Structure 1
Amino acid sequence: MSQPAERLVVEPYDGRYRILDMEGKLLATTARRPEAFDFVRGRGARVRLKWDRTVIGGQSSPGDFSAQHEDHRAGRIYPVVAGFDRAKWAWFMNGTDPDSGRGGSISGRGDTKDEAVVALELAYTSFIADSDKYRPK
C-alpha cells in the first residue's frame, strides 16, 4: 500500500462542523456534516475515527476493534484466522448516516491492521460525504 491518506478531525462546533489537522490547526468550517466529510475527501484525506475494542456479550476479543464517529457506529476490523486470507485483516464499514438514516456496508481486506484502518476510514469518509446524493429532493 502506498502512503496512507492524511487523517483529519471532523467535529461539531457551535452548530457547525470544523475540520482540523492532527495538530489541531483549523482548516475549514462547514454548515453540515456531509460538507465537512466532502472537504476531507476532496483533499484525498480521511476522517479520523475513534477506535475501541469490540465488546460482544460483555466480552472483548483480542485484535477486534470497532470504530465510531461522534456516537455513530462506523465499522469494525479484526484479524482473519482461517482460509485463504489468514493473517490478513478484515474491515467492514457498516454504519448508518446520522443525518439521513441511510445504512451502508462495504468490506475488504488489508495486509496489516494499519491498512485495514486506513481502508475503513476512507470508506466511511466517502459514505458520509455522499449523503446528499441520497437525500429526498
Structure 2
Amino acid sequence: MNYVSVAIFAFFGAITRYAISLWLTPVHGFPVATLAVNLAGCFLLAFITHYLGEVTKLPSMIITGMGTGFVGSMTTFSTFSKESLQLFKQHAWGLVVTYDGISLIGGLILSLFAIWLSQQLVARRGRS
C-alpha cells in the first residue's frame, strides 16, 4: 500500500516542482527554482518526519507518501548537480560557490530549524 501512497504524493510533488520552475525563472543564470524547491524540501522532510511522523495519528503510509513521494519528487539532486556543473563550465565561480553554499548550508539550517520547530510544537502540545 505504501507504493500507492508514494505514487499519489509523487504526482503532486512533481506538479509542484514543475509549477515552481515556471514561476521562478533563473535570475542572471542563477537557478532560483531548483534552490527554492531543494531548500523547501529540506525543511519539509525534516518537519514531516520529526513532527507529523511522531505526533500525529496519520498512518505511516501517508507519512511515507508525503516524505518519499511528495518531497522526493519535488526536490532534485540531479538538477542541482547539472546546474552546478553548467555554472562551473561557464566559469561563473561566484555563482557556483553561492549556489552550492546556499544549497548545502541553507539545507542544513532549514532542516535544523524544522527539527527545532517540531520540538517547540511538541512541547506546546504537552502544555495544553
Scaled by the length of structure 2, the TM-score of the pair is 0.30
- TM-score norm. by structure 1 comes to 0.29
Q: Which has the larger radius of gyration?
A: 2
